[in-house]
Amino acid sequence: MLELLPPPPTDPLWDLTAEFAADERPERLNLVLGVYRDAAGRTPVMAAVREAEIRLAERSESKEYRGLSGNTAFNRALLGMVLGAEGTADRAAAVQTVAGSGALRLLADLICRTRPGTTVWISDPAYVNHRPILEAAGLRVRPYGWRDADGGFDAAGVLRELSGARRDDVVLLQGCCHNPTGVDPSREDWAALAELAARDGWVPFVDLAYHGLGGGLEADLAATRMLAARVPEMLIAVSCSKNFGLYSDRTGCAIVLGGSSRAVRHAETTLQNAARTLYSMPPEHGAAVVTTILEDGQLRDLWRAELDVMRGRIAANRTDLTTHLSALGCEAQARSLARQKGMFSMLPLSAEQMLRLRRQFAIYGTTSGRINIAGIPGHRIPFLAQGIAAVIGTGADAGAGARTRQSPAVSPIP
């Protein structure tokens, strides 16, 4: 049986991660995976999370099954956080999932079970896992452009293309901190998208993975709440990986909004049935941590303060990188980066230039130009800027640290 398998595609992000792990150059810099790192290059456990875990360990009540919807207190807390007052309305329901990717897949299954072969529109470029998840669920995927010629949000182009979306098509939108570009619509642009959805009858499918890391928690949730207030139906995939630092605990939530409580109940049961066939029920630990934080005022305030520190560090990294690029004569690249926000930025480099950045300077980003701004140790930013300048031809080599992979020379980490 196994001999009949054709050569399968591999995951480009994890391929790059494996290549980085095998790279022996001491100056290597990993900007591939979307994880937050502090100034020392560590991905820390948040203090609020650590305290919540201590409390949970002390209680240690039970490890009994939670059920197909997972932790219902977690679901209520996520509804309240994401939708505000709408979170308690009869038209919304939530099911705990295996992180944000699990939420995307459950909601994709819901779409397919409701209307097989539905067309889902996704941005171009998009998060690398959007298309595979949607197509694995049996849905058709159609791209729409996202950026203009200068690298900013192409408001006119997006509205023009999405005017071709039919009633009951689904449009996947990232609620904030667009991955991979870091380019978001303005409030006015979001209002125009909400008006278009309400007029033409397509269903917004919002992916929320980075809320709190762009303009602040409330600001990053504003677009999602605006859409929820203006359209009759909506799907939301929520991840707790980034803003709670629960990467390996795989904690997320699938939210549905409908025109009636009956429709929402049916959607919730459909999500439960899909979960039953995929993984039965989600893990408890991360959901219990988030619930403990959101239900305790002191822990919630501590978490919000930590989240603001993370957001500030990400913004400072981006500002510092743009300053160094400007000083090296990369004005256009600096202007492009300055307009972006959130965990990722898209370098205006070709695939060949990104390959040279990796091979000559040990700086790892994706071939599309995406780098994890949140993963740069502050003292490495000059090294990164020098590498970028070198590959676009406006600067010298990144000092003694710039070595080809084949070189036996060892230099100190810049």
| Last residue of one domain, picked from the residues 295, 322, 338 | 295
**Model pTM score:** 0.92
User: How far is residue 322's CA from residue 315's CA, in Å, rounded to a whole number?
Assistant: 11
Residue of 189, 218, 182, 178 lying closest to 84 (CA atoms): 218
CATH number at residue 380: 3.90.1150.10
* pLDDT computed for residue 405 by the predictor: 47
Identify which has the larger pLDDT, 170 or 394: 170
Clarify whether residues 289 and 332 are in a common domain. Answer: no
Q: Note whether 244 and 331 are same-domain residues.
A: no
Same domain, 264 and 172: yes
One domain, residues 97 and 238:
yes
Confidence grade of residue 410 (pLDDT, cut at 50, 70, 90)? very low
Residues 126 and 21 in one domain: no
**CATH number for the domain that contains residue 137:** 3.40.640.10
Counting every residue written for the chain, the total comes to: 414
Q: Are residues 134 and 241 in the same domain?
A: yes
Q: Are residues 119 and 256 in the same domain?
A: yes
pLDDT band at 155 (very low <50, low <70, confident <90, very high): very high
- 225: in domain: yes
Residues 96 and 203 placed together within one structural domain of the fold: yes
Q: Mean pLDDT across the stretch 324-337? A: 92
> What's residue 148's pLDDT?
93
* pLDDT band, very low/low/confident/very high, at 154 (cuts 50, 70, 90): very high
Same domain, residue pair 273 and 359: no
> Residues 87-103: pLDDT tens digits?
666 789 999 999 999 99
Same domain, 36 and 69: no
Per the structure, the complete domain to which residue 379 belongs is given by: 11-44+313-401
Contacts of 52 (CB under 8 A, 6+ apart): 288, 289, 292, 293, 296, 299
- Give residue for tokens 């919002």: 206
Same domain, 242 and 318: no
In a domain, 84, yes or no: yes
* 60 inside domain: no
Res 213: pLDDT: 97
Chain segment 185-199, per-residue pLDDT in tens: 999 999 999 999 999
Q: Could you read off the pLDDT of 395-404 as tens digits, one per residue?
A: 544 444 444 4
- Residue 384 tokens read as 């990164």
Asked whether 184 and 207 are in contact (CB, 8 A), the reply is: no
Q: Which of 248, 263, 295 is the last residue of a domain?
A: 295
Query: Nearest-5° angle of CA 193, CA 181, CA 386?
Result: 155
Contact of 154 with 191, CB cutoff 8 Å: no
Q: What are phi and psi of 62, to 5 degrees?
A: -170, 160
Contact assessment for residue 373 and residue 322, using Cβ atoms and an 8 Å cutoff? no
- Most distant CA pair in the chain, distance: 68
Euclidean distance between CA atoms 243 and 35, whole angstroms: 10
C-alpha distances (whole Å) from 26 to each of 81, 226, 388 are 42, 47, 19
Q: What is the pLDDT of residue 395?
A: 52
The Cα–Cα gap between 264 and 270 comes to 10
Residue 95 pairs in a beta bridge with: 254
Clarify whether residues 17 and 78 are in a common domain: no
Are 136 and 245 within 8 A, CB to CB?
no
Number of domains in the chain: 2
- Span 237-283, pLDDT tens digits: 999 999 999 999 999 999 999 989 999 999 999 999 999 999 999 99
What is residue 379's DSSP assignment?
A: G
User: Is residue 85 scored above 80 in pLDDT?
Assistant: no
Q: Which helix (H) or strand (E) holds 114?
A: helix 99-114
Q: Is 101 a domain residue? A: yes
Average pLDDT over residues 151-171: 96
Which residue bears the tokens 């978001």? Answer: 184
**What's residue 8's pLDDT?**
83
